[in-house]
Structure 1
Amino acid sequence: MICRAFGVLLYFAAVAIALDRDCDVKADLFFVIDGSDSLSDADFAASKAFIIQVLRAFAVEKDRIHVGANVFGTDVYDRIELMGPTLDFKMKYRLFEKRIETLQRTRSGTATFKAIQEMRKEFADRGRDDVTKVGIVITDGKSVNINATAQQARAARDEGINMIAIGVGDNIFRPELYNIASSPTSVYETDQIMGVVKTIQDAVKEYICIVITTTISTEAPTTPESDSLKDPCLTDGVVSYDVEDLCSGYVMCVNKRSMRACCQTNHAYVAGTGCVLDPTCMDTCDGDDNHLIHPLECDSIPFPGDDRYYIQYEGEGHTNKTRPCAPGTVFNVDSCMCDKHDTRPQTGKLDDCNPTANFTFENGFEDSAGHAYAGTEFVDVIDGHAQFNGNGMVNIYRFSMDTFGKKLVLRIRFLPAASGQSNEALLTNCISSKGESSSISIRVVRSSVVTMVVFSTDTTLDTQQVTIPLRNPNIWNEATYIYDGSMLYGIIDDGTDPVLVQSAPLSGDILLRKSGMILGAGSQLNSYTGDIDEFQLYKCFPAYAQGYRA
């Protein structure tokens, strides 16, 4: 699955991607592009533009560089066969780049292993025997089967394909990037891909020319038996192994080093398979997900005097940047990440509870809170209202795989259309997932007698819903959803007294979903027909929510 923009490199080393025309050598190059739910339309377009810009430094011709690409989600949806254009140079750019621009995707899951498998077949069927082969995987999140992805990447490397892994955005699963890439120096993480085109081009040229002119031994070092007994990851072929007494925990092997990882809620690790659905698995990993057991060389240091920030090295000739950790975390020098809990007392007051996302539709689909990006399909904004016609949605990608915790408030102001379907999604957190429904939903349920709003939540411990009839469905109504770890609240305010409040007991952690927070659509539901003019998401309790809970 996957989202967001691309940009600052976290690892600085030469990378084998393609070759400069001055090198006068041949190479086969294949791009594997994430097209899953979590990637915004803007970022998907940016990934294609990035490929075009990178290729402009190289001779993509019949007798030089051959290029192929595919786009994956739950399956591979679009592809360019590995080839070298036979037309003249100028005509080649006009036609070949146009084909890259028109690559399509279908929103769904993140089956990275299928795309790598197809890439291997392209190299086998259309690749040239006497040239360097390079595969570049661009992804923004964790694949649906990490073991299968690691196995396909290892098979590609065994077949002589140099593997590059580029992680995109803030949902990166670092262990998987390392298992895809040929070496740690071939792993990149970024949030603004168009800003690193020249850097990648220069690294590409240097690496390819070195590969052509230098013999590199492929013989694996001998691992002493005693070391293998100490750490299973020192054994060739081991991708991951389980953690004793923790059903959801496991260890991924990253270049023969162990890295802790964790399955999502209600999933258990099975050796040789990976994470599988298991409602009986209630274990959590206490923040160990994506955590290195053995530290890597780190390019960042804590900000002096305040480890809620860190200073990141931007490379020679660039100004280092100070970056904030996520709220509630501090920089951990052992893992080189903000994965350590901030134990200092929180000084925030009730009045300081601000929305994490705030869409008023006064300026299109802009988040006035400044934190979230929304992708849209078939939704128009007219006079400050988002208009839904039964086939559209607004997907706020930031909340893909969000745990939400036990402080979640959702507020949405809406006006249903005079007519519509029986069970419409006003707000959900799941779309286009086979056999999986939303774990959070607010639905408009219509009948000939009454129109009701249903608030539903699935947690690790139970499923609960509350239902409130609308007194007047032909006027603007405000729906508020609250979950606090012990109760689920549904509130309807139509501007008249009394405000309608229903609640039901509910505990546990909200089940994770790969889609973002979605307005107007949801799995196994009809799409919404009507208007929405406000939506806020809080991960705290604003004063009005505290009042409802009281």
Structure 2
Amino acid sequence: MEVVLVVDGSFSIGATTFNNNVKAVLRNFATILFYLGKDVSVGLVLYSHVIDKVIDLTDDVTRYRTGVDGLPYPAGGTYTDLGIKSAAEMFRRLGKAGVTKIMIVITDGQSANPQRTSQEAAAARRSNITIFAAGVGHTPTSELQAMATSPQHVLTADNYDEMSTLLAGLTKNCAVDGGWTEWRRLGYGPCSSTCGPGTQLTYEIRYCSNPTPRDGGASCINSNTRIFSEQCTKQVPCPSSGLCDDVKMVNGVGFRLHPRDCDKFIQCYSRPDGYTLGVVRTCSYGRYWNQEEVMCDEACRVDCPIERCKNDCISTYKMDGSCRGYWSCDEEKSEPQCCPMGFAYVSKRGCLLDFTCRDQCPMICTGEEVCNSRPVWTDAHRYEQSSDRPGWVENACMKSSLYFDIVACQCSTAPTTECRPRMTMDFSNPNQLTTDPVVVVSRSNLEVTGKVAVFSGNSKITTDISIRSPGYPISIRLNYREAAAVNSRQVLVAAPWCKRASSVSMVIFVDKNVIGFEVKNWYGMKEHMTIPTDGFSLDEWKDVLFAYDGKYLTGTVQSGKNKHASRVYAPKITMVECGLDFGSDGTTSTFNGQMDLVSFSLVLLKHSLSFVDLECPTVIYHSQFIGFQCVAEFKTVFILYFRMNEKKQTEDNRAQFGKGEQIKGHSSVSDFN
């Protein structure tokens, strides 16, 4: 049903009556009409000596009532013929075929041209429009009958309140068809999968009460229940695929694309006893990993399935390995770019002035992108190297003081493998987090129970540890596990800014399937490294180590028999100058989980990156300057700080050197020749 109200707005009505009484009639009657069912549309034409306002046919009661509230009071003449003609045109323009059309003319007096009014009404009736003529006050009955479809379609009232009652009575005997309510869910069937995506049956019901059928109206058709299949509402996350589970094997070494970055790849090494090491490696400047060819290639030639320029609403993004390097998006492809010297790229902001950013860009290639060597698992000083021919060729490091570092893919100086750190927290004593009398430790909202520190999302441990320039070597090690699946950044360790221009902040954080390391200065991001944790179980402890030697930052994370590692170039950064905090960096990115070991050392610690277990004599030595005790576990013992008693000494003699004395001012073995 379609109803158009034709409303007189002549000056004889008066502003008060129009705004209070007339508008009330229009609102109340339309509300009743809309209640009749969903197939009701209402429109309005306000006239005086011209058409003053039109509300087109609508089934939206809110839109109609808002239009009525905004009607102006015309205070003009009574040209009823104009209103009837305009309403008839609305039916022709917006009306639906086969739908009952009703026009209700509401006026308070005789029209300015009764003959023309009668003619327009007759034309509307010939278009199958039923006309009710409603007169208020002293409207001539003869003119009302000339407009109306029949004498039974004439309504007269002394005032608008009485007219409102008469109009409401028109709907009493109208048949109201039933209408369905919205579907309401009754319940769900079991999920087809125990973890990850799955489907389930959903049961829904609806009722024929919107409106309820009455006065002979038709009842609702079709069923009031339905059953359909949809994705499970509560999905239990499956353990993510391990980083080295789906790889392409080449000569006994696995290769795969990095799960989140096109310019990185993973090399996977398996130890005979079932342990696996996945090493994150980065292609050189402007190159992507090509999994089909098992090589780094020009980015424009590689169709990377995780291309960020296709999936993200971004135009540029940061390139790891250089403060000046970034990627620019062009036709859904990434192109390598460099900021000018003295400018650093800052995510979402572009190239910004940074006098500390002096990196070479484009970066100079310093070696092979793919590591063609692997450890000899029974000897830390030997390694195997592949060539164009099938198989491996065994080699030894050139010096007995060197061991093979699979992350660096080269022979390196052996680090300390076990050390009494500058500070350790094993949480064995809830009342005293560390036994170091020099370090001041405070905590907030932290629970310590069963040798485990429980971080509840607003917990924090604060220490006053600080080291001065050059600030390396250092190692930070901790064991943690999450309380729930991590979907956003949570801070494990933070070194805050100092109030100095050269100061930097450092953060170690865990995020969805990654653990990361960030260093920022006053200009913005300086260094960034993430290590995937794909395949690690939520309830298992993760052993994390970040070691920095003043040139390279190396990180490892291990869970069960799987270890992942990465390394980035990060020259000469002093990053722990004003304390070291755990569980929070002062933002909302706080840790929710547990830690059972935290240590901070002023030496390099390697967490058995080559997975070589060696037996050797234990040698203990002391450093008066730093105050720690170290235990070397390699066959050859390496002293980090000592004074040579002889200018020339063979490598074998150095290996047998049992005790040393700290030389103040020296902080690296590279200071000794």
TM-score range normalised by the length of the shorter chain: 0.3 to 0.5
**TM-score w.r.t. structure 2 length?**
0.27
Name the larger-Rg structure: 2
Of Structure 1 and Structure 2, the greater helix share is in 1
Higher relative contact order (CA 8 A, sep 6+): 1
**TM-score w.r.t. structure 1 length?**
0.32
